[in-house]
Chains A and B, each alone.
Chain A
Amino acid sequence: MKKYLTLLLALALAFTAIIPAFALAEDIPTFRIAIVRWTDSWGTDFAETALLKQLQEEAGVNIEWDVYYYGDWAETKSLLLASGNLPDAFFGAITLSDTDISQNQDFFVDLTDLIPQYMPNLTAIFEADPSMKALVTNRDGKIYSLPKKLPLRPLTAFEPYINTVWLDALGLPMPQTYLELEATLEAFVTQDPNGNGIADEVGFPASGTAVNDINQLMIPFGTQASREGNFMGLNNDGQPYFVPTADNYKAGVEWVHGLYEKGLLSEERFTQTSDMVTAITEADGGSLAGLFYAWTADAGAGVNADQFEVMPVVSGPDGNRYVESDPTYLNYSRNEFEVTTACQDVGKLLAFADLFYTDLASLQTYYGSIGDGKISDNGDGTYTVLVPSDGTSLDTSCWTFSFRDHGPKYMNAEFESSIILPEDQGDGIKLRDDAVNNMYGRDNFPVCSYTEEQLSRLAVLSTDIKNYVEQMYAHWVVDGGIDEEWDAYVSQLNAMGLTEYISIYEDAYQFYLGQ
């Protein structure tokens, strides 16, 4: 009997010892967040950073990350939504789109009234910068996701980079007009600037699609359109218009056809793979490309980057200079964070998300943690972003050790000046090159909000319209004939529902202006 009593007592004691442990464990709720990354070659260190540990402690939460990769996300996403196996939140605009959220609205928590309650940082940002609030408010006036503004971003997007080694070899100046650019490319292709006796130089080797070329090769004609790929642009009077049926587009295509005929563009620009283009720009012993458009020289030419310099944009037929610029698409976005109905404690999770909206947190979720040695705090209010010591590029290191472009962030303009970037890599170079051309950036068709009805109509209309525009563009560049076939082309597009397509975008634009 005594033995049993002691056993019972021991068990009871053990039990009471465990209970407090359980209670402590109960205090820290665990949340599952789904996040999509571009590629797994950057690893999963981004989820284990010093900053994340600090933020989790501060908010009193524990986060488990379900990592998916973009290549296969489309299939897995539909299963995740349809099988009812929802995580507590989704992270990053790459993960869910406007359509995903509006079609499945029942899965997502309405945050409109919860933000003032649980998110002081974000509320302050909304007051100081109302465009951020407009960004995430949908057509019904509700908020279902959180926004971001990337720090230290340029105004321009892709800029032209010209082969200055060849310019020097031929004694040519930087071209100033689009006709001079054409003449320069001709010189590149015919006068053997790399001096090897073979006509292996390619003027402009990049692959061709209408949606890219209107923002790059053809941009001297003012054909800039939204990076969303909807072919909508704003004309010089600030009015929205559909670029592929406008006169400046027609003139631009004729010019490009002329370039193609003269052999200044790659003959296979519509059929080659990107590997084949890289083989030309990054050729051993000197690049074989004369001109390309890219974010920075090393993004476009890799090892041959020092043979190129950013070209001040040339003027077009109307005398104006244009450069691709789309800040509302490239530097801001919504859908960075959504909370699902599976979440047991929305307030706590939102409070955690709110911690991302400080200057220091935004700095570290973009470059890497101070605690991990990616940034140094200089003690005097400035911070230096450090170049990795193992030879990897800064850009890759940022992607490996932080969320980089994804997730809630906001950095105040004043704070940006206290960040010191390396001059020879990554963002530093882009900002330097940006300064050359950003005065020529104009307003682009912005990122707008659409009703669910509009989104599904667009899905049906845009596939046919875009396919047709691309097909005709390729045909005209290679075979010519745009003059004779133009009218039939426009009426064909109208038959495919172009007028409805444009009216949807015009309606969305009006709503955007009204905000």
Chain B
Amino acid sequence: MLLPPAAIFFCFAYIPIYGIIIAFKDFKPALGIFGSQWTGFANFLQYFNSYMFINTIRNTLTISIYTILVTFPLPIVIALMCNQMAAKRFKRFFQVSTYLPHFISTVVMAGMIILFLSPSSGIIPKLLGYAGIEMGNIMGKAGAFSSIYAWTEVWQHVGWDSIMYIAALSAVAPELYEAAEIDGASKWQRTLYIDLPMLTTTAVVLFILRSGTIMSVGFEKVYLLQNSLNMSTSETISTYVYKMGLRSNQYSLSAAISLFNNVINFIILLLVNYAAGKLSDTSLF
């Protein structure tokens, strides 16, 4: 039963891995991967010595960790809320509403964010204005970038991400709830002692997997929300490499930086996995 996936994976995921050597060469398409000149770690050193190295890594990690911290617990909360709703119709409506924003494409989402936050024509400054809060041009404030990024990620994906947890909760036998009710447990206690533990294993596994993406902040959304005023906190590794690549075809440099990112991701995954194994008995292997 494992054979088909293993075979497909071998063909299309393992065979191409030889391409990693592009990171160690001065790749020219005319010479091909094997014909290009070997340069060892020169590409990596070029990146480490570049002026923006520290900045891009700092920005990438800030945005990434902030986003993980904020987008991780909230889908669980949504799933728990959903599970405790007795009103079937509203529960359905609630579920569907929360996952709808997931379908909006990044390009349109970024355009909407800029529009909604515009001090002259956006709805959010208008609403805050009624409450007496002056927002100013928040898209132009470098310090606000990671918050804008993280909270709009929540807005867009929290409902969709909660589906997994809702599915996990469906495996709880209803007798458990009824028994708890008889014993006098309140809804709050039922949520805490029945629902939450049910989700722990799933949550831990998802967290381990998520921490393995720590260096990979999505390129498109950052690039669309970036501008000259917030550049100091919004220039991530991927946008920086993209700009370098616009001028000349820096295949080798991008390959080197990708490899660097992937190695860090993998190490973090292994560390988190180990920690999770020790703390909660759940781990990937």
Contacts and interface: CB of A to CB of B under 8 A. Distances in A.
Interface stretch (B65-73, B171-179, B242-250, B258-266): B242-250
A37 B179 CA distance: 68
Contacts of B229: 270-271, 471, 474-475, 478
A267 B120 contact: yes
B227 A271 contact: yes
B119 A103 contact: no
Given A268-B119, A275-B111, A99 B248 contact: yes
A347 to B, nearest CB: 23
A99 to B, nearest CB: 4
B237 to A, nearest CB: 13
Contact of B228 (A82, A107, A464, A473): A473
A99 B51 CA distance: 23
A78 B29 contact: yes
Contacts of A268: 118-120, 137, 139-140
B29 A81 contact: yes
B249 A464 contact: no
Nearest to B114: A273
Nearest to A99: B248
A276 B235 CA distance: 24
Interface in B132-153: 137, 139-140
Interface string B224-248: 0001110110010000100111111
Interface in A178-209: 208-209
Contacts of B29: 78, 81-82, 103-104, 107
Contacts of B228: 208-209, 270, 470-471, 473-474
B99 interface: no
Given A272-B114, A478-B140, A107 B247 contact: no
Contact of A471 (B231, B246, B249): B231
A458 interface: yes
Which of B115, B120, B228, B232 has most A Cβ within 10 Å?
A: B228
Nearest to B118: A268
Nearest to A100: B249
A495 B228 CA distance: 20
Contacts of B114: 271-273, 276
Given A78-B249, A270-B229, A464 B50 contact: yes
Nearest to B31: A106
Nearest to B110: A273
A6 interface: no
Contacts of B120: 267-268
B121 interface: yes
B251 interface: yes
A496 interface: yes
Report, as a range, how many residues of chain A touch the other chain. Answer: 35 or more
A464 B52 contact: yes
Contacts of B32: 82, 84
A471 B232 contact: yes
B231 A456 contact: no
Nearest to A473: B228
A104 B232 CA distance: 35
A455 B235 CA distance: 23
Question: Is chain B's binding surface mostly helix, strand, loop or mixed?
Answer: loop
Given A82-B29, A106-B31, A270 B247 contact: no
Given A467-B52, A467-B235, A459 B244 contact: yes
Contacts of A107: 29-30
B190 interface: no
B118 A103 contact: no
B28 interface: yes
A209 B231 CA distance: 13
Interface string A68-102: 00000010001001101000000000000001100
A148 B192 CA distance: 73
B248 A103 contact: yes
Contacts of B235: 467
A462 B50 CA distance: 12
A456 B244 contact: no
Nearest to A458: B247
B84 interface: no
Contacts of B248: 99, 103, 455-456, 458-459
Contact of B140 (A81, A103, A271, A459): A271
A389 interface: no
A105 interface: yes
B30 A81 contact: yes
A99 B29 CA distance: 12
A471 B234 CA distance: 12
Given A209-B228, A270-B229, A103 B28 contact: yes
Given A276-B115, A459-B250, A471-B228, A271 B240 contact: no
Contacts of A464: 50-52
A463 interface: yes
B46 interface: yes
Contacts of B244: 459-460, 463
Interface in A250-298: 267-268, 270-273, 275-276
A207 to B, nearest CB: 9
Contacts of B249: 78, 99-100, 103
A495 B49 CA distance: 12
A99 B228 CA distance: 27
B121 A271 contact: no
Given A106-B31, A474-B229, A273 B115 contact: yes
Contacts of A276: 114-115, 118, 121
B137 A103 contact: no
Nearest to A98: B248
Contacts of A106: 30-31
A345 to B, nearest CB: 21
Interface of A: 74, 78, 81-82, 84, 99-100, 103-107, 208-209, 267-268, 270-273, 275-276, 455-456, 458-460, 462-464, 467, 470-471, 473-475, 478, 495-496
Given A271-B137, A276-B121, A471-B229, 6 more contacts: A82-B32, A271-B229, A276-B114, A276-B118, A464-B50, A464-B52
11 contacts: A99-B247, A107-B29, A107-B30, A209-B228, A271-B114, A271-B140, A271-B229, A459-B250, A460-B50, A464-B50, A474-B229
- Report the 3 A-B pairs with minimum CB-CB distance, sorted nearest first: A474-B228, A459-B248, A81-B29
